[in-house]
Chain A
Amino acid sequence: SQQGEEDPQALSIQEGENATMNCSYKTSINNLQWYRQNSGRGLVHLILIRSNEREKHSGRLRVTLDTSKKSSSLLITASRAADTASYFCAVDSNYQLIWGAGTKLIIKP
């Protein structure tokens, strides 16, 4: 069964706005990762945050992790049309990544 649960399931915003997606999980983790998937290019790794980290930045991406609440958020600032994709969180628990169902993000021009 899938462990990460993304919220919302779908999000539609105007280009230039910020997009926030959340992920909740159930067990202890080594790290949590966010991936992007669009139809043309498959799954691409975006950012990894370790269990002892609380916040991490990469370009327009900001990820937070709250291990006490077993939750993470992904913020994309100044969204662009090219950010339209599905975004997945994956929790690294022992030997494998366990994935949520994803958030489908649509950026309207």
Chain B
Amino acid sequence: DTGVSQNPRHKITKRGQNVTFRCDPISEHNRLYWYRQTLGQGPEFLTYFQNEAQLEKSRLLSDRFSAERPKGSFSTLEIQRTEQGDSAMYLCASSTREAGWLQETQYFGPGTRLLVL
């Protein structure tokens, strides 16, 4: 399967602990996105990378959240000092934007479901 993969699929942690999630995008995709999704809502944009450069970060994103994509391939999302409000599904998507026309399809991983106790 050459789709987007995410690990772990589930994570339960205690409030105050740090957690790290990993995303492996489709290999030829240069763009990688992180989203958060809570029950009954659509995905909420967190941040995105073009290759290894982090180009945008949501203003809603707390300083406790940090993401990296060191070699322009896989990415990690770390949440420090987790809070119960961080409980959500964290989705990763990758894409490649077509030259000459501003359109892209994002391909999503299965997500990491985080529960903060």
Contact = CB atoms under 8 A, between A and B. Distances in A.
Interface of A: 2, 4, 30-31, 33, 35, 41-45, 48, 50, 88, 90, 92, 95-102
Contact of A95 (B41, B43, B56): B56
Contact residues of B: prevailing secondary structure: loop
A98 B103 contact: no
Interface of B: 33, 40-45, 48, 55-56, 91, 93, 101-111
B42 A4 contact: yes
Given A42-B110, A90-B42, A99-B43, 12 more contacts: A35-B108, A42-B108, A43-B43, A43-B93, A45-B107, A88-B43, A95-B48, A95-B55, A95-B56, A96-B45, A101-B41, A101-B42
A98 B42 CA distance: 9
Nearest to A42: B110
B105 A33 contact: yes
